Structure 1
Amino acid sequence: RQVVAHERRDHEAARSEAIGMVKATDSEKSLLVAVATKGGGRVNEHFGHAKEFQVYEVSPRGISLVGHRKVERYCLGGGGEDAILEGVIAALEGIHIVLCAKIGNRPKEQLSRVGLRVTDAYGHDYIETAVSALYAAEFGIRPLAATA
C-alpha cells in the first residue's frame, strides 16, 4: 500500500507541475499527442504491441485526455505486418506526435514518411511530464525534467 500511495503522490506532483508549466505559456497553439500505454499514467507500451493509443491535447488550457484510437497490434512476435501498419497509420491521422516506450526502425521510418513524428525518448515517464516536455520543445519553452 505504501508503494502505491507513494506512486500516486509522485504522479500527482509530476502532473501538477507539467500542467502548470503548460498553462504558464503564452502560446496559442495546441498539440495532439498519441500515447502507447499499458496504464499507470506512464508511457510504457511498445509501439508494435499497442492495441490503442490514448490521445492527449496539450495547450495553454492544460493537458487533457481527449480520446482513444483503437488499432490492431502491429507486432505479432518478432515482425510486423505492412497491412496492419497502414491501419495504425490511418488511425493516427491528425496526430502531431506519437509517444511509446520503444519502436523499431521500420515502423519509425514508415511513420516518418507519412509525416507522423514518433519518439521513445520518454519511455516510462509519466504521460503529463512527457507531453509537457514535447510541448516545451515544440514551442521553445523551458522543459521539465523527466520523472521516471
Structure 2
Amino acid sequence: MGCRVVGIAGGAEKCRYVTEELGFDACLDHRGDLGAQLDEACPGGIDVYFENVGGAVQEAVFPRMRDFGRIAFCGMVAGYNVRPLPPGPNLTSVVRKRLRLQGFIVSDHPRAWATGASAARPGSARGSCAGRRMWRKGWRTRRTPSSGCSRGRISGSWW
C-alpha cells in the first residue's frame, strides 16, 4: 500500500525499540517538540491515527490530520489518573477536515479473538510480529504495571 508508519514514544530507548524491533519507519519522542517532529516526519499530513494516549500528543496530531483522515480511539492514558479531567481537545479539525472517528475496546469483538490470535501466531513464531509484555506475579502487584504505564515506566502490554 505504500504506507509510512510513524510511532510516538517517550525517550530514545523506546523510540529505538519501535524502529529497530517493531519495524516502524520512524518514531518521534513526545518529550521533545512533537509538533515540529510531526511536521518533519509527516510533511503531507496524517491519514490514519491510532489514539491511545490523548493529552498533548492528541493536541499535536489532530491539526495535522489530512482531510477525510481516520482516527481509531482505543484509550486516553494521559487522562486516566488526572482529576478533574482537563478540558477536551478542540474538535474543530474533526468537522473542518471531515474526519472519521471510531472508539473501540477489545471486548467489543470477543468472537474475533481466536481468529486474531491465529493470524498473529505465525508472525510471532517468525519474529515478524513482536511485542513486549511485563509479567508480575501475585495479586498484590496487579496495579503496578498499569500505574507505571501511565507514568511512562512501562513498555508494551502487561498481563
TM (normalized to structure 2)? 0.28
Structure with more contact order per residue of length (Cα contacts < 8 Å, sep ≥ 6): 1
TM (normalized to structure 1)? 0.29
